[in-house]
Structure 1
Amino acid sequence: MVLSHKQRTRQLQDVEQLYARVSQHIVRYVSTQPSDYFISDKTECIREAQIRATQRGVRVYPGADPNLDSLLLPRERRVLSDLLCVYRKKHRSDPYQDKNLVIHLGDSSERQCWSAASGRVPTFRATGGLLWSVPRSRWMTARERLAALGLPVTDETAAAMGVPKFPCLDVRRAQHVAGNSFHFSTVSVVQLVALLSFAKIEC
């Protein structure tokens, strides 16, 4: 939603049409897939696993392989199992071979909130819910969520954007920042479109 002052500004062009044109232009040059965002190493995954294990009353042993199925709640396991069956029937292939398959375990399996349909990471929710990478047998870490939102959480991204790297070692803080935010570049495009669509009325 773009708001403008009726007495002080005038509209130069249609906001939605301009946004569509800019978006189409960007898509020609920039394209990502869910697997691009899984950047956390084993140490980071286990650190998050230990935090969640404490919350759920399960023990995680240091140095263990970060296969985190054992930390899933019964309801989350059912959602995962149901959607893996749906995937096999629909795609006639092994879901564990799909590097981009991400399932939102906070939703019911009937809603099929996953990347298999759109090829995109499922929408983040402020209420939480694990985003489960099937081939990696783990959830998307807090830092990876920030990466998916376009924030500079790696040296490479920060250098490309010409800004300092975003600090996100604190898992809870990173989760709070992510929330159900817009993608960083989307916010920039919306701001650009808003500024180009209206002009100040000269007195």
Structure 2
Amino acid sequence: EIRLRVIKIILGDDYVFYQLFVEPSDAGHGGIGRKRTYVFCLHRANGVYLHDVFDMYAEITQEIQKVVSTKPGNYMVATAEHIALDALATAVSRKIPYQHGQSDLSYLLNEREVTNMRLFDQEYIKRYNRLPRYDDDLFYFLGDNFQYTKSWSAVSGKIPTYRRNNNPYSK
């Protein structure tokens, strides 16, 4: 996260600052959600402000969104080999016998993850009155406690925010 105050302290009064808040959907990537911010620094004496940063970004965004629009399911591009290798690595790290050729990888889940998956499924059925397995854009993050945090794509339409731990996502 950029702290504009810190940048202003470092660069001083010689610059004008424009902070732009963006998200992946601005560039057509609606299936993911990870907001970003950019700070444009214009030197007061030597810089030339040719175009309004915010207007330019809005125009570019409109053009991109005309031709690019993704959903969560569009990001599932792993090959069967990559999935098998990941399953093998998970099995090894969890000290579970690897089941070669098994397409249902639920055997790799721990008890809490199985419970979370069941609760997510029940909540999905309750809200949408259909089975979750038929939603190609539905993903759960099984590492959170379902009772406190529901990280799933059902409501937002975006893949749950990437976490840097070993907990799995479920499709």
Alignment counterpart, residue 139 of structure 2, candidates 99, 102, 105: 102
**Identity percentage of aligned residues:** 28
Evaluate the alpha carbon distance shift between residue 2 and residue 108 of structure 1 in structure 2; reply closer, same or farther with a 3 A threshold: same
Counterpart of 1:85? 122
- Structure 1: distance between partners of 2:98 and 2:110: 15
Q: CA deviation at 1:128?
A: 5.1
Q: CA deviation at 1:13?
A: 4.0
CA contact (8 A) 1:34 1:120 kept: yes
Evaluate the alpha carbon distance shift between residue 81 and residue 16 of structure 1 in structure 2; reply closer, same or farther with a 3 A threshold: farther
Q: CA deviation at 1:79?
A: 1.9
Q: CA deviation at 1:65?
A: 1.8
Q: CA deviation at 1:15?
A: 2.9
- Structure 1: distance between partners of 2:54 and 2:158: 22
Structure 2: state its 5+ residue gaps: 1-37
Counterpart of 1:122? 160
Any residues of structure 2 matched to 1:1-203 within 5 Å, and which?
A: 1-7=38-44, 8-62=46-100, 64-109=101-146, 110-127=148-165, 129-133=167-171
Larger strand proportion of the pair? 2
- SS of equivalent to 2:78: coil
CA contact (8 A) 2:72 2:137 kept: yes
- Structure 2: distance between partners of 1:6 and 1:14: 15
> Number of paired residues?
132
Q: CA deviation at 1:22?
A: 1.9
- SS of equivalent to 1:86: helix
Structure 1: state its 5+ residue gaps: 134-203
Evaluate the alpha carbon distance shift between residue 2 and residue 101 of structure 1 in structure 2; reply closer, same or farther with a 3 A threshold: same
CA deviation string 1:27-73 (max 9, x = no partner)? 111112222222233332121111111100101132x2221111112
Could you tell me the TM-score, scaled by structure 1's length?
0.58
- Structure 2: distance between partners of 1:122 and 1:14: 33
- SS of equivalent to 2:140: strand
Greater Rg, structure 1 or structure 2? 2
The Cα RMSD (Å) is: 2.0
- Structure 2: distance between partners of 1:24 and 1:128: 37
Moved more, 112-121 or 7-16: 7-16
Evaluate the alpha carbon distance shift between residue 128 and residue 5 of structure 1 in structure 2; reply closer, same or farther with a 3 A threshold: farther
CA deviation string 1:5-36 (max 9, x = no partner)? 43332434443443233223211111122222
Which AA in structure 1 matches 2:157? G
- SS of equivalent to 2:164: coil
Larger helix proportion of the pair? 1
CA deviation string 1:93-145 (max 9, x = no partner)? 11111111111112232322111112222221234532211xxxxxxxxxxxx
Which AA in structure 2 matches 1:101? L
- Structure 2: distance between partners of 1:97 and 1:42: 20
Could you tell me the TM-score, scaled by structure 2's length?
0.67
